[in-house]
Amino acid sequence: MRSVSSRSRTSRALPAALAAAAVLTALASPAEARRRHHARAGGGYNPPYAAMVVDVKTGRTLHAVNEDALRHPASITKVMTLYMLFEQMERGRFALDSDLTISARAAAQAPSKLGLRPGSAISVEDAIKAIVTKSANDVACAIGENIAGSEERFAQMMTEKARALGMSRTRYANASGLPDADQITTARDLTILARAIQDRFPRYYRYFQTRSFAFRGRVIGNHNRLLGAVQGVDGIKTGYTRDSGFNLMTAARSDDRQIVAIVLGGKSGAGRDRIMADLVRSNLPRAYAGARQTAPTTEVAERTRPAVVADAVSRTRTQVASADDDEIDATASTDRNQPLDISPSRATTTPGSAGIGARTAPALPKAAQAYAASASQSPFPGTGKSEARLASVDGPARAEAPKPLSGPRVVPTAWVIQLGAMDDEDKAKSMLSEARARGGGALSKAAPYTVKVEHGGATLYRARFSGFAEQDSAQDACKALKRSGFNCFATRS
C-alpha cells in the first residue's frame, strides 16, 4: 500500500516538473539556447575545420582541407574592411591623419572594441592599428559608415569587391565579423584576399606587422601570437566567434619563398596557432624560390590602378601608393624606408589629367571636357607618411596650352582646388565627377580639369576644379567636399 501511494505521488509531481522545465526553457536566452543546441549536437560545439596553404609565386596549392566548404570568417572579415579603406586612401578620399567619426551605432558594437564615444573621432592611422591589433569592432563599423554612409551599404560593397577579386563564395553582412548567419566565406576565398591585399597595397600591408600601439594612454598588443614567434610570419589577422571557432590568416616569407595560409575552426587559440605554425614550417620550405610566375591578384577587368600622390596639411610629405612590388621598385629609392623623389621634371596638361608617370597618356574620349594647365603645383592631402618632394612645375617644367575636346575651354581661375592624383586619366575624371555630384552647390559653377605631370617614366593626372576668384570661396568648396568624404586643398593656379 505504501508503494502504491509513493508511485501516485510521483505520478502527480511529474507533470509539475515538466511544466517548470518548459518555463525555464522558454525563459532561456537565445545565446543559451544555441549553446545547448551545440552541446546536444555532439558533446560541446566544435566548429568544422578547414585550411589551405598557397604558394604565392606559383599559385600552387601546398595544403588543403575542406578548402571550399562554407565557414564564418569572424574578425578575418576586417582584412576586407581594411582593403576597402586602403582603396579609398589610394583614391585620395582619406589620408592617414583624416578623422573618422564614431556614430552611436559604432560605439554600441560588441567587444572587442576601443570603447569610443558617439560623436568622437579617430584618425585613419589609429583606426588601422586598432583593427590590426585590438580587432576593434567599433572602429570597423565606423570605417564602413564613413566610407559608405551605412554599414549595410558597406557590406554590400565588400561583397561586390569579393566577387571582383574572384572570391566567389564569400558574402559579407557587416564590417567587423560579429556573428551573422549570412557572413560566409571559404578557406580558398581567403587565400585570394590574403594575396590581393599584399599585391594591391604593399605600402599599407606593413601595418599588419604591428606588434602593439599606444592609444590615448593605453598600449594595445596584437592578438596574432605568431608574429615574432614563427620565422617568416609577417601578418595578418586572427578571428573568433563561437560559430566560427578560432580562425587565422597568415602570410610568411623566407629565402625568396612566400606563402599565404588559412586555418578556420580551431578548437582554441593555442591549438589554432600550433596548427598554423606547423603549416608554415612544413610548407614554406616547399614554396618556389624563383621569380614570381603568377600575376598579382587583381580585380576582374582591372587594367590600371590609381596611384595617389598626396600631402598632409599642405606639407610636402607625400607618398606614391603603388599597386604592386614591381611598381614600387620602379618609383622608390633602393631603400623603401627612404624618401621618394617624385619631383616633376616636365609637366603637360590635357583634359582630365594630373600626375607623375612613365606611360604616354591614354587617348582621351571625345566626350571629355577640356582641361587646363596650371602654372604651379602644390601637394594635396595625402595617403602616406613617406617623406618626398613634390616640386613646382615652374622652371624646367613645360606646360602645354589646354586643348578642348568638347565644350568650352577651361581656364584656371585665380584659385583652384585639388582632390588627388591618379595614374589613369579616366579615373581622375571619375573622381571629379563623383566629387561634383556629392559636392552640392559649392561646385555648381566649378569646372573640372586635370594636370598631367611626367617624371622619370611615370605619369599622374591631378584632379582639380577651377572657378574660384577668391581664396575663401575655394576653401569653402573644399570644406564641402571634405564633409562628403573627399580630401582636397585650395591653391593658387
The pLDDT tens digits for 206-223 are 999 888 888 888 898 888
Quickly state the pLDDT bin for 483 (edges 50, 70, 90).
Answer: confident
- Cα–Cα separations (whole angstroms), residue 205 to 54, 102, 208, 235, 469: 18, 24, 6, 9, 42
Q: What is the pLDDT of residue 419?
A: 83
d(CA 318, CA 96): 11
CB neighbour list of residue 95: distance below 8 Å, 6 or more residues apart:
89, 124, 310, 312, 381, 382, 383, 487
- Report the pLDDT value the prediction gives residue 169, as an integer from 0 to 100: 95
Q: Where are the alpha helices (DSSP H) in 99-242?
A: 104-107, 124-133, 137-148, 151-165, 187-200, 202-205
For residue 460, what pLDDT band results from cuts at 50, 70 and 90? Answer: confident
The type of residue at 140 is: A
Span 132-144, average pLDDT: 96
Tell me the whole-structure pTM to 2 decimals: 0.56
**Per-residue pLDDT for 358 more than 60?**
no
Residue 431's pLDDT band (boundaries 50, 70, 90)?
confident
pLDDT at 269 exceeding the cut of 80: yes
Q: How far apart are CA 355 and CA 421, in angstroms?
A: 6
Residue 229, pLDDT score: 86
| Range 71-92 average pLDDT | 96
Burial-class residue 34 by CB neighbours within 10 Å (0-12, 13-18, 19+): middle
Provide mean pLDDT across the span 357-374: 32
Whose cell is 596557432? That residue is 273
Q: Which residue has the higher pLDDT, 340 or 472?
A: 472
Average pLDDT over residues 84-93: 94
CA distance 440 to 481: 9
pLDDT score for 181:
93
Q: How confident is the model at residue 197 (pLDDT cuts 50, 70, 90)?
A: very high
